[in-house]
Structures are given as C-alpha cells and as structure tokens.
Amino acid sequence: MLKNKDLLGLKDCTAEEIYEILDTAEQMKKLLNSDCKQSDMLRGKALVTLFYENSTRTRSSFELAAKYLGASEVNISVATSSVQKGETLIDTGETLDAMNVDYIVIRHPMAGAPKLLSEHVKASVLNGGDGMHEHPTQALLDMFTVREKYGKIEGLKIAILGDIKHSRVAMSNLFGLKKLGAEVYMYAPATMMPKDIDKLGAHIAKSREEAVEGADAVMGLRIQLERQHGGLFPSLSEYAKYYGVNDAVLKYAKKDAIVLHPGPVNRGVELTPQVIDGEKSLILEQVKNGVAVRMALLKLLGEYREAHL
C-alpha cells in the first residue's frame, strides 16, 4: 500500500512504492488493451483536473484513467475559472474539497504548489508537473516503458539529453531511476545543466557520445522555452546539430536501445523526424503507458483513502 494520501514527487517515494505502482500499471494496461476498457473500481469517486499550464497528455490521460475506472471527472479551465477573479490556490482547493472531490490533479508553474494544496485539502493531490521541480507521473510512465522492454530497470544505462536545468521530467526520472538501480547519464549545453546534479547521483557526460555510449535507453527532453529567458544556446539549428538525438548519435547506444521523449517534441530540434518515427522510438507507447500508470495511481491512492481517511 502507498504510504501517503498524495503523489507529490518521486523524491519521497520508496523503491517498494514505485514497484507497486509499476506492477499495478501492468494489470491496468491489460484492462486498457481489452475490448471493454471499463471497470467500476472507482464508481462513486470524483476527480478534478486543475491545470494552470497547458497540457495534452497528462490532463487527458488522467481524465481517461478516471473514466475507465468508473469515476466521475471534471476539468477546471483555469483561464475561465474564478482564479481569474483572484481566487487563491488554497481557496480553490477548499472549494473543491467542499464538493467531496476525491482526487485533484494539479499542474502549476510554481514549484511546491501541489504540496501547498495537499496540506489544505482532504482530497488526494497528484502532481501533474510543478515548475522545474517534479513531474512524477511522467517519470513513472517512462520507467514503466523501460521495464516493459527490458523486464527490469536495475543495472540499465539511461541517457538523458537536453534541457536538464528546466526539466521537471529529468528530476523525477533521476530520483525514480536511481531508486530502482539504474545508471543515469546526463548531457546538456553547460547553460542547461543544473549545478551539483551529480550530487543527486547523475553522471554528467562530457559529450553526447559519452552519454549515449552503451545506453539501453536514450531520452530526449523538450527545450522548455517557457521557463527560460533566452540566450542559453545560439539557435535551434545549432542546438539540433550539437545536442539533439539523431541516427548517428544512436549508433553509440546498444543495438536494440529504445528512444523516449516525454512530449510534446520540437521536431527536428531535440530529435530528428527519423528518430521520432523510427523503430527505436517508443514515444507513442509512452503515451499509452501514461494512461495505465495513472489508472494504477488512482486505484492505489483510492485504497489508501479507504484504509486511512
């Protein structure tokens, strides 16, 4: 059983909790792949998505996960909600709590916003991405995809390339992959590499080739243009040439290595179109796995709620 009512990040999850989520997601993927992807496991429960930033994958996959498990779901469009009239995050959360909502999925530009919300609501809060801090459900679906391919994570080499500094996906993956025993190599322009990330267990590679050499999985990251103020790299074409993932770079990886990207991809920048659409790419499988992982989280947090609240 999970140890908390909320999922705020992987830094605070144990390896046992991560394995429980991945194992449960395996069952959920079977349901997702069945003819009738419907269960009444969460009948009578309600989920709200509260996104202060744009999303396609995270929001829709949480909404579908809730529907497939029989829960009701509602999206609050922040652009047309009372947030625009000055309502605070805590007041919004308490308003949702008053409606007996069971789950709130929040994405927010401020690191720590999901934690703040969780301290003021009875609902289980799931972090759908907070600033440059964590995006735990993305990392869980990435780990699920890796484990589905190799049957394990321990001992694998995972290369993460791109805008590490602004990436909550990179942070959550580093925490999760290290807990499960993977070796994580990172490579980025110096201006996009956070200081001291090696102290969290990452190997900082000196070149793209060193990062990818012998890797089992190569993950490209989106350049987070919305979180930086320009001047961190000369131009998109130079970024693609010196830091992007292309077929020549992938030759350094293991022969059957996989390519991952959290999406949305800037085509031709982080990855070439040939890599995105190539046989090594599991980008769309990651999207499917995202639904299974989010179904698993709703089930497991539902069990926690039954037992503790």
Contact between 75 and ligand CP (CB under 6 A)?
no
Between 143 and 162, how does the x/- string for binding to ligand CP read (CB under 6 A)?
--------------------
Query: Binding mask 38-57 vs ligand CP (x if CB under 6 A, - otherwise)?
Result: -----------------xxx
Residue pair 32/294 in contact by the 8 Å Cβ criterion: no
Residue 133 annotated to the active site: no
107 annotated active-site: yes
Q: How far is the CB of 54 from ligand CP (least distance, A)?
A: 6
Residue 157 sits at the vertex; the CA angle it makes with 241 and 264, to the nearest 5 degrees, is 50
Least separation in angstroms between CB 224 and ligand CP: 11
Catalytic-residue membership of 30: no
**SS3 category, 238:** helix
176 binds ligand CP (CB under 6 A): no
């040939």: which residue's tokens?
Answer: 274
Residues 172/139, Cβ–Cβ less than 8 Å: yes
Structure tokens at 16: 């046992």
Binding ligand CP by CB under 6 A: which of 131, 201, 263, 268? Answer: 263
SS3 115: helix
- What are the phi and psi torsion angles at 46 (to 5°)? -135, 140
Among 24, 92, 124, 138, binds ligand CP (CB under 6 A): 138
| Binding of residue 58 to ligand CP (CB under 6 A) | yes
Burial of 246 (0-12, 13-18, 19+ CB in 10 A): middle
Q: From the list 162, 194, 244, 262, which residue makes contact with ligand CP (rule: CB under 6 A)?
A: 262
Ramachandran category for residue 181: left, alpha or beta (phi over 0 → left; psi -120 to 50 → alpha):
left
Q: Which stretch binds ligand CP (CB under 6 A): 66-74, 176-184, 262-270, 294-302?
A: 262-270
Rounded Cα–Cα distance for residues 175 and 134 (Å): 10
Q: Indicate which residue of 29, 45, 59, 107 is catalytic.
A: 107
Residue ranges in 200-259 that form contacts with ligand CP under rule CB under 6 A: none
Q: Which residues bind ligand CP (CB under 6 A)?
A: 55-58, 129, 138, 262-264
Q: Annotated active-site positions, please?
A: 57-58, 85, 107, 135
